[in-house]
Structure 1
Amino acid sequence: MRHFTAATLLMGATLAASMPVLAEGDLTRRPEKLPDLVLGTEDNRYLLSQKQYELETGKSYKLKIISSGQTEYALKAPEFFTSIFLRKVEAGDMEIKAVMLTELEFEQEGEAEIYFVPIKPGAFEFYAEGLEEKGMEGVFNVR
C-alpha cells in the first residue's frame, strides 16, 4: 500500500508541475513609464541621459528614446532585444508591430517609444554603436 501511495504522490506532483501557469489580466497593458533615454545634448553630443534601468520580468514598460540630432545614433541592445516581448514601437505618426528589434537608428532629431515586457532576467548592455568609448553605453538590469 505504501508503494501505491508514493507512486500516486509522484504522479500528482508530476501532473501539477506540467500544468500551465495562468496570469491574471493582460501583462502588456498599463505599462510603467521609464525615464526617457536622451541621446546627446546641444552642449555634449555624446551625453547619455540614463546609464542604467532597473526592470522586472513580466512587468510592462514603455521607454521613450529621444535623439538630440547632434550626430547619428544607432542604439543597439542585442541581448536585451532578444529577451523581451516587444508589443510595439511608436515613431512619429506610425505604430510599428514587430517580433523583435535589431537597432533604432536616428539620422537626425527625433524620438521613438518602445512598449515591451522583459521575459528573461540578467544584465543587458545597450549602446550607441561606435560611440561606446565616448560613454554612450548603459545597462538594463532585469530581475
Structure 2
Amino acid sequence: MARRLASTFAALAAIPLATHSASAEGYLAGKAEALPDLEIGLGDSGLEKKGGDYSIVTGKGYSLKIKSTGKHECAIVAPQFFANIYIRKVEINKVEVKLSGLHEIEMEEEGEAELYFVAIRPGEYTWACRGLEAKNLTGKFSIK
C-alpha cells in the first residue's frame, strides 16, 4: 500500500502544474476607476445609446454606471462578461447589493444601477439589450 501511494505521488509530481502563469495588472483591492456611463433609451425612439464599448485590464477595479430613460425595457445580458469578472457589488438607488454572480440587469423604467467589478480573464465580451440587438443596443468589453 505504501509503495502504491509513493508511486502515485511520484507520478503526480512529474505532471506540469500549469503551462501558463496567472497574472493580473493593478491592485485588486484599490479604488475603482469609473468608466464612462452607459446610457440607454436615448433619442426620440428610445433606441439610441451613449457609451457601451470599454477597454479594461485584468486585476483592476472598475465601476460602470448604467442609466436608462425607461423609453424601452432593456434586459442587459452579457453572460461571458459576467462569468469573467469578480463582482464587488451593485448599487441601485443608494442600496448596495453584494452577490456572487449576475445573470442580467433588467431596466424596465427610468433609473440607474452601478456595477463595481474587477476584470479577471482577458478576452472580448459582448453585451446586448435582449431582443434589441438589431437596433444596435449592443457593445463590448475588451479585457487585456
Q: TM-score, with normalisation over the residues of structure 1? A: 0.80
Relative to 1, partners in 2 of residues 1:22 and 1:69: Cα closer, same or farther, differing over 3 Å?
Answer: closer
> Structure 1, unaligned stretches of length 5 or more?
1-13
Q: Which runs of 5+ in 2 are unaligned?
A: 1-15
* Percent identity between the two aligned chains: 44
Query: Does the 8 A contact of 2:27 with 2:59 survive in 1?
Result: no
1:18-45: per-residue Cα shift (whole Å, max 9, x none)? xxx899x961331100000001114241
Tell me if structure 2 keeps the 8 A contact 1:79–1:124.
yes
1:48 is paired with a residue whose SS is strand
- Cα RMSD (Å): 2.5
Where has structure 1 moved over 2 Å in runs of 4 or more? none
Equivalenced residue count is 127
Matches of 2:124 and 2:96, distance apart in 1: 28
Contact kept? 2:70, 2:110, Cα under 8 Å: yes
TM-score normalized with structure 2 length: 0.80
Kept in 2: contact 1:28–1:87 (CA 8 A): no
The answer on 1:79 being equivalent to 2:51 is: no
2:40 and 2:110 mapped to 1: Cα distance?
A: 10
